[in-house]
Amino acid sequence: MKPMILKTTPEQEFYTAERCHILECSNLPDDPEVSIARARVEPGVTTQWHRLKDTTERYYILSGRGRVEVGDLSPQEVSAGDVVLIPPNCRQRISNLGSDDLLFLAICSPRFVPEAYEDAEDAARHSRNQS
């Protein structure tokens, strides 16, 4: 890796099928140990259940108020300054409980690659139907 300054612009943000907006801040092949993205979840939206294969993820909440569900933990409210630790292969989702956008950094190690993303909606639905 060589020294550099990475700049982002609002135009680089994209919407995902997970129901959130992503702005990749740092995700480079020559920096494979970590990636950083800013996630934005609109008011009233809950992202879909998902997991990252062999990837640890951390949410650092920047602003807003949400409810996070991770693995078998009971749902918990989060707000600015909170950090959510998500082990590899652990299902997760987050809901925006406020009237403003919920903004957080998603920090992945190793760096996020699309092949690591796994939809866990069907597994969550199946689990609820078994209860």
Residue keyed to tokens 């993820």: 57
Task: Give the structural domain span for 65.
Answer: 16-121
CATH number for 103: 2.60.120.10
How many domains does the chain contain in total? 1
Closest of 115, 113, 105 to residue 29, by C-alpha: 113
pLDDT digits (tens, 9 = 90+) for 29-68: 999 999 999 999 999 999 999 999 999 999 999 999 999 9
> pLDDT by residue (tens digit) across 75-95?
999 999 999 999 999 999 999
Cβ neighbors of 64 (< 8 A, separation 6 or more) are 41, 79, 80, 96, 98, 100, 101, 102, 103, 104
Asked whether residue 5 is domain-assigned, the answer is no
Instruction: Assess if residue 2 is contained within a domain.
Output: no
Q: What pTM does this model have?
A: 0.90
pLDDT at 126: 47
Q: Is residue 57 part of a domain?
A: yes
- pLDDT category of residue 1 using cuts at 50, 70 and 90: confident
Largest CA distance in the chain: 52
Residue at 112 is within a domain: yes
In a domain, residue 130? The reply is no
In a domain, 31, yes or no: yes
Single out the residue of 47, 98, 44 nearest to residue 69, CA to CA: 47
Is-cis flag, bond preceding 110, omega within 30?
A: yes
58 inside domain:
yes
Q: How many angstroms separate the CA atoms of 50 and 88, rounded?
A: 11
Residues 6+ apart with CB under 8 A from 121: 48, 49, 50
